[in-house]
Amino acid sequence: MQVNTVYQPEILIQNNKTFSDVNNEVSVHTERFPTFKWWFCFLAATSAFLLGATLASIMFRDGLGVLGLNQPNGWGVFIVNFVFWIGIGHAGTLISAILFLFRQKWRTAINRSAEAMTIFAVMTALIFPVIHTGRPWYAIFWLIPYPNQRGLWVNFRSPLLWDVFAVGTYFTISLIFWYIGMIPDLASIRDRAKNGIRKFIYTVLSLGWRGSNKHWSHYEIAYMILAGLSTPLVLSVHSVVSFDFAVANLPGWHTTIFPPYFVAGAIFSGFAMVVTLLVIAREMFNLQSYITINHLEKMNKIIMATGMMVGYAYACEFFIAWYSGNPFEAYAFVNRAFGPYWWAYWTMASCNVLIPQIFWFKKARTSIPVMFVVALFVNIGMWFERFVITVTSLHRDFVPSSWAYYVPTWYDWGITLGSFGWFLMWFLLFCRFLPVIAMAEIKAIMPTETPHKEVHTNDSK
Amino acid sequence: MSETQDDNSINILNKDGIARRDFLTIMGASMALAGISCVRRPIHKIIPYVIQPEEIIPGVANWYASTHPATGVGILVKTREGRPVKLEGNSLHPLSLGALSANIQASVLDLYDPDRLKTPLIINRKTREKEIASWDKIDDLVTEKLKTSKKIRILSQALSGDTTTRLVHEFLNTFGCNGNSHVQYHPLYPEEIVQAQELSYKTRIFPKYDFSKAELVISLGADFLATWGYPLEQANAWAQRRKLRSHNHTHAILSKLICFESHFSLTGANADERFCIRPGDELKIALALAHEIVFNLSQKYSHDQTVISALQTYKPELVTQQMGLPPGEIKKLAKLLWNLRGQSLIVGGGIASKTSSDVALQIAINFLNSVLENESVTVDGTLNPKLVLDHGYSQFYKLISDIKSGKVDLLILAHANILYQLPALELEQILKQVPTVISVTDREDETSQVADFILPDHHYLENWGDHHPTKEIYSLQQPAIAPLHTTRSFQDSLLVWTKKAGLRAYGLLGKHLPSWYEYLKTNWQENIYKTHHIADSFESFWENTLKDGYYRMHSKHVASPRVFKTSSLDHIRAAQPINEGNIQLMFYSKLAMGDGSQANNAWLQEMPDPISTVTWDNYLNISPVLAKKLQIGKNDVVELKQGTHSVHMPVIIQAGMHHSVVSLAVGYGRTAVGKVGNNIGVNAFSFVQTHVEVRKTGKFYKLAETQWHHVTENRPIINDISLNEFRKNASASNHTNPHLRIEKVQTIWPEHEYKGPRWAMAIDLNSCIGCGACVIGCQAENNIPVVGRDNVRVSREMHWIRIDRYYSGDQNNPDVIFQPMLCQHCENAPCETVCPVLATVHSSEGLNEQVYNRCVGTRYCQNNCPYKVRRFNFFDHWKSREETMNLAWNPDVTVRTRGIMEKCTFCTQRIREAKERAKDLDTNIKDGDIQTACQQTCPTQAIVFGDMNDPHSAVSKLKGDLRAFRVLEEVNTKPSISYLTKVRNKEIKHG
Amino acid sequence: MVGKFLNLKLILVLLFTVFILVIISLGSIFPNASNQGYAPAQPIAFSHKIHAGTNKIGCIYCHTGAERSRHATVPALSICMNCHRVVGLDKPDIQKLLKNFQEKRPIEWIRVHELADYVYFPHKRHVKIGVACEICHGDVKNMDVIEQYAPLTMGWCIDCHRGITTPKQLLSRLKPKEDHYKEVGPTHCTACHN
């Protein structure tokens, strides 16, 4: 077989799309009345959210007793959800910021929706620290460090405070980065818009963008700076979230591996969620030619890589527990795998480490049903990983006389379902009103753009 | 007392509808819903007295000395603004010595029980409908009936005190009945001990068993640390011989306790050696011991024919083999007793032994105590024995037969709940034959259903009275509050009825004294003041006795040993053999619930049982061996069948039970006691203590246990060593992985420095008997709410101090160690670093402070506390107190709403009170001035609190003791509480 | 059409008003903690000016608790009756007082100075250390209707305990010059919250 030594630039946008195709196919969804499929998903998501909201309001009225929490298990499903949703967010920032700095062209197809997913995931995550105190009107009142007549500040040594700053910064920077990146696209939609209201809204949103040379140079500089700012966030925010556990002295929490372990887990579950959402969005908004199998394959590779990192972390935890000779740690990990919550541990281990191994085979990496199923399992596995960390260490720690089981109640599951509803509701609204793909960046890498025309003739076979 | 007590404390609640404590909730809610309008705080009123009572200063507590009638224990009643809020032991009173048991501490809540009967009722016999009547109407009707009925009988449960008995006798004589128509019946009364004493020494008394002089104690089924006899006094005395100091540890002496029992009791858990026997076998062991001593050791009775014939058949080897004890055990024990004669003590009996051979057992024990020359040393029957009810069960059964034969026209039931205690006798039909039945009770209980008049009695804190518990002690009971409801004391009723009847009244009644208080005072003047010819005037004698709470008659003569009447040994018939095959049922009374009269007390219902840590229910205790045989697992429901009577009940697999015995607690299964106590558990009285069938029903019932894991998993939490190990090395400690015993643990954080005092505590695991008095004392002092059975089931109980009970050693007969676990007030407190709002901070005096109004409820501190001593308000538990129960709050301690974390604060309100008292007198705080609530009520003084910076304080000495250790030392939290290793007087096999 | 009408200035004005509305609503959600200036009408128009001012009756005469307990207590009717059994019987308010006393019904004064349930403020300690009543309650001798003079908020108390706003004669006595770390009063939490 003749080895083709000439450098072939990768084909990212298939089916010879032109600039007008991009404009039409991406912004058409913001102009048409949404399809029945969209309405069905949207109503399902909203009803799930309303269910969660009513259960939460009953909880505010009666007290946290309706949940499954009890004496040793101070934290339960709510904190698991908090860490889970923050973890989901990290992939979006990685795709849009770090891959931008690495000049990975393939990110342009998925960075807008991934970044949107980050913002909605963080919005979902922020619900839980507020409602898990049971009296949110009281919690916010004290948790924010504002000068007050009592002369009392918050406790800056507490990891929960670090969370407030870390997640707060992460949310604001991601929002700005996402919005700035979208201004050129909003402007192009504004120009296509006909009737008054939509035109007025998009006009306000696009902040008077005219696509002039000065605008573009400011845009490029701003985008670069924000990408630079977002990159350290990907690593620091989930490390701070892991400090909630690592700083505590519980056996099974107090380990130094937590920060990298949580960041790897975050990227792992984040990419799985991106794959899950884009596989559906790709069909629903027929963007197959922009978000190609090639993109999904690259993401699957990342999923498998981070999956094995997480697997390494599990093994490392067990080794250190044995190696440290500290009987509390040893017992905590043996109890984690073989104690009353063995089922949660083995679900986690199999979903996170074994199932992604299927991606070694190219056929699996590129087949839509396989990757969708694996992505779902990864997210289930990652939810259980946080569940295992939180609950197994809490329900059996130092003093055996206060060991007790934690059983989540319908309120726990209801409000968790509500959080998924809330997340999907926002994501569907985003898909309805805002361009799912960054049109400006896609146009930048489209083949018709490059001068050497003939190079691309042979790909059409 | 102010004559126009206008109860302003109550009407504050109802008039403006919102109690002051709702202010916080309103402010919280208003913050959320304030919206735009600018809201000023709700209008509150401040309502002063009309006439200022001179002894009440709002904000300052008044203390009154009184007596707990059922036990004769002297108490101090702390009242704030005219209402009792806390009871504490009277340190002068010999039966209390400053401590109180759990059920006495909880009796302050009974005063405010909303289910108390508030007004007298007349019941129409046919239609059973109730009519609320005034006292005058009742008095007219009752005196009417009294005059017409010839034979009047009074049945009471525990009416004690010379003056009351005298009043009852005079009342009965006035209406033409003689003295013995007043009968007393109490289901748990140690009747057999009194009968045996009468047979052996011709005196009807309950001897004073002085455990403080006993080097060796053998208990044959007597739970003397919890429910048998006078537990407070006995626990205090026993613990005095268990205290060890390590400076003379090489030849330390420690008393030894050996228990023979079939059910796992609190005393058995504290025993050095414990043997499982079937109920009824105690007699054989006592006689075998006697046989060994008489035939081989002592010469005293070796030629006495009656003794020899009685003990002939009980050879020690035969009995040892029959009981399955280790070979030669009884011989060894008899030798030990003989060597320690004059310093040993044998006690026995209790509810379990209330079978045919119970008197015989007591006679055997009396004989043993006499042979071992314990008389007048550890057994005092002459100087200051306990006085007892004048007649027992025989009188009661005679009364029942009289009623059956229609010889009784009018029956007065004074707090006698016989329908609940004797369901088998179908008393409901029998009592119908009595034309008029008057029931004097504190609530509409089971027995008052059959009564024609239900008359509400005062709670003992609302009533006068006197008690004569032991020969030398006359204890006074004075009211600490004006009656809350339109109740009237039983004694006042008798006085009113005699006055209204207008017949020729006997004795003091003739003087037609205006009230029971006057009657009491006159009787004291005539009987006690005159006969003991006291120096100063009666008035000052009366005031002083009221101040001290009791008067002690100083008897001139010394305790003289009594001579044992050997003829009483004839009563010991050969006990009939119990066939091995079937299962034997036995009763026991729980420390908190006793005979069930306080069943509506939420604190006692929620107090974890010392051994099984179960709350809110009684249950069938089954040994692991028997449970495996009947395939009964945890949370199973079994059917207990005895003849035709069968009941379903939950099960506890209890290690330490005899393999063919099941036990059930009395005092439960009450049907008419109030919202809290109704239908909780199963009525044990409906059974008889003989063989029974147990069958698995396949249903499940989860008992509300507070401790789900019973072993320490070899972690550095407790240390128990044997006496020899202690003698070799006082700071020996076992049960811990050597890797974890790091001596000096480094820390990178700067130490807190303490210029003033540094509060700390030392708990002696050798003295702690696990009785739980501290749990209820703390609950009363610190407004700790009750959460109910469902919340305890999911482990959300709120007690700030819990007694952890760890098993170790042999599976079927485990060693037990009780460890009171409360906030350790750590130096490096893990909770302080993680609380996001600084709701828990370290004070300049070593306290870990919990600020309730600052806590938002993230519960991170609870997760990070290695001792898990923090409690979270999952619901608004404080709302479980309705109506009058809101008067029981301690006004010095904030009541916590939901969403707030709380924990032991080392009673900051008591520390602050002592500091303020010292500031007033310009002195500094002496060691012992401050007593935490748990330390104050502990019968064995196991808990010592004080200033660690003062080297001469008791707590510093204890913390410096070589036995002192700290829990989870290597987690480096540096707790302020040191525990002292438990030393067992036996050989321990570690591992 | 719509675009022309909306120029930048109008948008800015709109945004600014929305911002102000939010601040106001936030302000009202968190009401001012202090109740300063609160002077409600009382059931009986009792004037401290007459009693404490002109007649110079000492505070402790009526508020007996101030020297003996944490509560200064409003006087019982029997204390009023010490004088008003004879003094000023013609005045309607005093007749109302007499009627209440005869019927044994207490007067329901409206509470002016009120701290939250979770605060422990001992009058006795402050009176004994020499804090004059006027410092916290203002110039009561000249008040016809009692008004809350001081904010009585935590910050206000803490400043006095830390020696920032402590009256001069107290400061010199309680806090020696050289040891500026020493506090005038305790500031650890369980001094007032337990």
Weakest mean pLDDT among B222-236, B246-260, B266-280, B291-305: B291-305
Q: How high is the pLDDT of residue A248?
A: 93
Q: Report CB contact under 8 Å: C117, B52.
A: no
Between B889 and B296, residue with greater pLDDT: B889
What is the nearest CA distance from A200 to chain C, expressed in angstroms?
7
Q: How confident is the model at residue B414 (pLDDT cuts 50, 70, 90)?
A: very high
Q: Residue C36 contacts by C-beta under 8 Å, 6 or more apart in sequence?
A: C148, C149, C150, C151, C152
C24 reaches B (C-beta below 8 A): yes
Residue A62 resides in a domain: yes
Searching chain A, which residue's CA lies closest to the CA of residue B864? A248
Q: Is C193 touching B (CB cutoff 8 A)?
A: yes
CA distances from B68 to B89, B95, B702 (A): 10, 11, 35
8 Å CB contact of A151 and C155: yes
Give B575 or A24, the one with higher predicted confidence: A24
Q: Give the CATH fold of the B121-188+389-531 domain.
A: Rossmann fold (3.40.50)
Does domain B720-748+758-984 bear CATH number 3.30.70.20? Answer: yes
CB pairs under 8 A between A and B: 170
Q: Is residue A5 part of a domain?
A: no
Q: Which residue from B369, B417, B388, B828 is spatially nearest to B594, judged by alpha carbons?
A: B417
Q: What are phi and psi of A24, to 5 degrees?
A: -65, -55
Mean per-residue pLDDT, B347-355: 82
pLDDT at B445 over 60: yes
Q: Tell me which residue in A142, A327, A402 faces B740 most closely, judged by beta carbons.
A: A327
**Closest Cα of chain A to B791: distance in Å?**
8
Mean pLDDT of B154-180: 87
Minimum CA–CA partner of A404 in chain B: B708
Measured between CB atoms, does A400 come within 8 Å of chain B?
yes
Q: For the residues B658-670, what does the mean pLDDT come to? A: 93
Contact: C193, B39; criterion CB under 8 Å: no
Decide if C182 is inside a domain.
Answer: yes
Full DSSP string of A174-202: HHHHHHHHHHHHHHHHHHH--SHHHHHHH
Give the pLDDT band (50/70/90) at residue B28: very low
Q: What is the pLDDT of residues C74-88, one digit of tens each?
A: 999 999 999 998 888
Looking at residue A257, the DSSP 8-state letter turns out to be T
B50 and C77 within 8 Å at the Cβ level: the answer is: yes
In which band, very low, low, confident or very high, does the pLDDT at B734 lie, cut at 50, 70 and 90? low
Return the residue in B718, B747, B834 with the most chain A beta carbons within 10 A, the one to mutate for interface testing: B834
Residue in B with minimal Cα distance to A67: B874
Q: pLDDT under 50 in chain C at which residues? A: 1
B842/A contact by beta carbon, under 8 A: no
How does residue B569 score in pLDDT terms, banded at 50, 70 and 90?
Answer: confident
Percent of chain B scored above 90 by pLDDT? 58
Chains with 3 or more CB pairs under 8 A to chain B: A, C
Query: By residue range, what is the domain housing residue C173?
Result: 153-194
CA-based nearest distance B739→chain A, Å: 8
In this chain, the answer to whether the domains covering B8-111 and B583-705 adopt an identical fold is no
Residue B210's pLDDT is 92
Structure tokens at B87: 């009871």
Mean pLDDT, chain A cut into blocks of 10 residues (461 residues total):
66 81 86 89 96 95 93 94 94 89 89 93 93 88 82 90 92 94 92 86 90 93 93 93 94 93 94 93 88 91 94 94 90 94 95 94 93 95 95 94 94 96 95 91 75 50 42
Bridge partners (DSSP) listed for residue B75: B66, B89
What is chain B's percent helix, strand, coil content, to nearest 5?
30, 20, 50
Domain B191-241+252-380, CATH homologous superfamily name and number: Dimethylsulfoxide Reductase, domain 2 (3.40.228.10)
The pLDDT score that the predictor gives to residue A343 is 96
Angle made by CA atoms C159, C161, C164, in degrees to the nearest 5: 40
Q: Does C64 touch chain B (CB under 8 A)?
A: yes
Q: Out of 2.40.40.20, 3.40.980.10, 2.40.10.10, 1.10.490.10, which CATH number does the structure's domain B583-705 have?
A: 2.40.40.20
Does residue B809 belong to the interface with chain A, where contact is any CB pair within 8 Å? no
- Looking at residue B578, its pLDDT comes to 60
Query: C-chain residues within 8 Å CB-CB of B30?
Result: 31
Question: Residue B743: its pLDDT value, please?
Answer: 62
**pLDDT value at position A3?**
63
Structure tokens belonging to residue A69 = 């929490």
> Which pLDDT score, from 0 to 100, does residue A152 have?
86
Q: Quick one: pLDDT at residue B3? A: 33
pTM: 0.91
Mutate to test the interface with A, among C12, C15, C158 (most CBs of A within 10 A): C158
Question: For chains A and C, what is the number of CB pairs under 8 angstroms?
Answer: 27
Question: Residue C193 and residue B894: Cβ atoms within 8 Å?
Answer: yes
How many of the other CB atoms lie within 10 Å of CB of B191?
Answer: 21
pLDDT, one tens digit per residue, over A141-152 is 788 888 888 888
Shortest CA gap C166–chain A (Å): 16
- Give the helix ranges, DSSP H, for B282-371: 282-292, 305-311, 316-323, 329-339, 358-371
Set of chain B residues whose Cβ sits within 8 Å of the Cβ of C75: 48, 52
CB atoms within 10 A of CB C61: 12
Chain C CB contacts of B44 under 8 Å are 110-111, 114
Instruction: Classify domain B8-111 at the CATH topology level.
Output: Phosphorylase Kinase; domain 1 (3.30.200)
pLDDT in tens, B693-710: 999 999 999 999 999 999
Query: Which of A79, A150, A161, A249 would you mutate first to test chain B, the one with the most B CBs within 10 A?
Result: A249
Write down the pLDDT at residue B750: 80
- Optimal mutation site among B11, B841, B912, B922, interface C, most CBs of chain C within 10 A: B912
Q: Please judge whether B837 and A154 are an interchain contact, meaning their C-beta atoms are less than 8 angstroms apart.
A: yes
pLDDT tier at B580 (50, 70, 90 boundaries)? low
Across the interface, which of B32, B806, B863 has its CB nearest the CB of A75?
B863
Provide mean pLDDT across the span B279-292: 89
Span B604-626, mean pLDDT?
94
DSSP state string for A50-101: HHHHHHHHHHHHH-GGGSS--SS----HHHHHHHHHHHHHHHHHIIIIIHHH
- Of the ranges A98-107, A348-357, B179-188, B572-581, which is most confident? A348-357
Could you say which of C100, C111, C124 has the minimum Cβ distance to residue B45? Answer: C111
Compute how many other C-beta atoms are within 10 angstroms of the C-beta atom of residue B588: 26
Number of domain units in chain A: 1
Domain that holds residue A433: 19-446
B477 three-state secondary structure: strand
Domain assignment present for residue C172? The answer is: yes
pLDDT at C107: 93
Gap from C71 CA to chain B (nearest CA, Å): 6
- Nearest residue, CB atoms, C190 vs list B20, B50, B843: B843
Greatest extent of chain C over all pairs of C-alpha atoms, in Å:
86
Distance from CA of A152 to the nearest CA of C (A): 9
Can you tell me the distance from the alpha carbon of C29 to that of C49, in angstroms, rounded to the nearest whole number? 37
Of the candidates A433, A430, A424, which has an alpha carbon nearest to the alpha carbon of residue A47?
A: A424
B37 neighbourhood in chain C, CB within 8 Å: 28
- Looking at this predicted complex, what is its ipTM? 0.90
Number of domains in chain C: 1
The arithmetic mean of pLDDT across residues B882-890, rounded, is 90
Q: Residue C112: closest CA among chain B residues belongs to which residue? A: B44
- Whose tokens are 């009353």? That residue is A340
Which residues sit opposite B642 in a β-bridge? B645
Q: In what order do the strands lie in the sheet with B453-456?
A: B130-132, B121-123, B453-456, B436-441, B410-414, B152-156, B182-184
What is the model's pLDDT at position B324?
A: 85
Q: Where are the domains of chain B?
A: 8-111, 121-188+389-531, 191-241+252-380, 583-705, 720-748+758-984
Q: Is the minimum CB–CB distance between C164 and chain B shorter than 8 Å?
A: no
Structure tokens that stand for A352 in this block: 């996170």
Residue that wins the pLDDT comparison between B972 and C131 = C131
Alpha-carbon span A13 to A290, nearest angstrom: 5
Count of CB pairs separated by less than 8 Å, B with C: 147
- Region B937-945 average pLDDT: 95
